[in-house]
Structure 1
Amino acid sequence: MPLTPETLPRHELVGLEVEVVAASNPDAVGISGSVVMETTKLLTIEDAGADRVWHVPKDAATFRFTLDDDSRTRVRVEGDRLIARPARRTETTGDSQWR
């Protein structure tokens, strides 16, 4: 299944560019970089320019992912849509509720 805005919540997130656009912790808003690790409840984001690694709770944030397609499509996803073990989440085939 190709990576599209509709299928993003069911795909592997490691390697994608991401930005935190909303969060319950205002200090997390604006964190951006590449997803380097994913767990059930956290995304680990590495900011290459600042040599920093951030651990952002999925359920407390809204993310904007940049797809690696020709148009560099940006997709906004509520973090609670991503809560699941990565292997389990990529196996499910329900309707996507991205915006």
Structure 2
Amino acid sequence: MITPKNIFRHELIGLPVKVAYSTHDEFIGIEGKVVDETKNTIRIETDNSEKIIPKRVATFHFYLPDGNIIELEGKIIIARPEDRIKKKFRKFW
């Protein structure tokens, strides 16, 4: 089960997400569902299109199935998804 403490070790694809903050103003407020993830980007499916957001410049709100909202800086999750799942993380919050 995905929780706030183990979100780093889980697959992000399929989770609802919103870009809460970005150094690039056009990315702020984009929300939808994560449909793909690479080392440096997250692809979000919105109502009418897909947007590619660089992880390095954004802070994301991920909505978990149990109703929790997790805020993650994109810099923390920069890694290939298959490597991030195996990686050990220090406590960032």
Same fold (TM over 0.5): yes
**Per-residue deviation, 1:30:** 0.1
Aligned to 1:8: 7
Q: Percent same amino acid among aligned pairs?
A: 38
When normalised by structure 2's length, the TM-score is 0.94
Aligned-CA RMSD value: 1.1
When normalised by structure 1's length, the TM-score is 0.89
**Per-residue deviation, 1:94:** 2.6
How many angstroms apart in 2 are the aligned matches of 1:80 and 1:10?
Answer: 15
Aligned to 1:37: 36
**Per-residue deviation, 1:93:** 2.9
Aligned to 2:53: 56
Aligned to 2:90: 95
Aligned to 1:67: 64
> What secondary structure, in the 3-state scheme, does the structure 1 residue paired with 2:79 have?
coil
| Runs of 4 or more consecutive aligned structure 1 residues displaced over 6 Å after TM superposition | none
One-letter amino acid of the structure 2 residue matched with residue 67 of structure 1: L
**Per-residue deviation, 1:95:** 3.0
How many angstroms apart in 2 are the aligned matches of 1:96 and 1:64?
Answer: 18
Q: Which runs of 5+ in 1 are unaligned?
A: none
Q: Which runs of 5+ in 2 are unaligned?
A: none
One-letter amino acid of the structure 1 residue matched with residue 50 of structure 2: V
User: Is the contact made by 1:9 and 1:82 (CA closer than 8 Å) also made in structure 2?
Assistant: yes
User: Is the contact made by 1:7 and 1:96 (CA closer than 8 Å) also made in structure 2?
Assistant: no
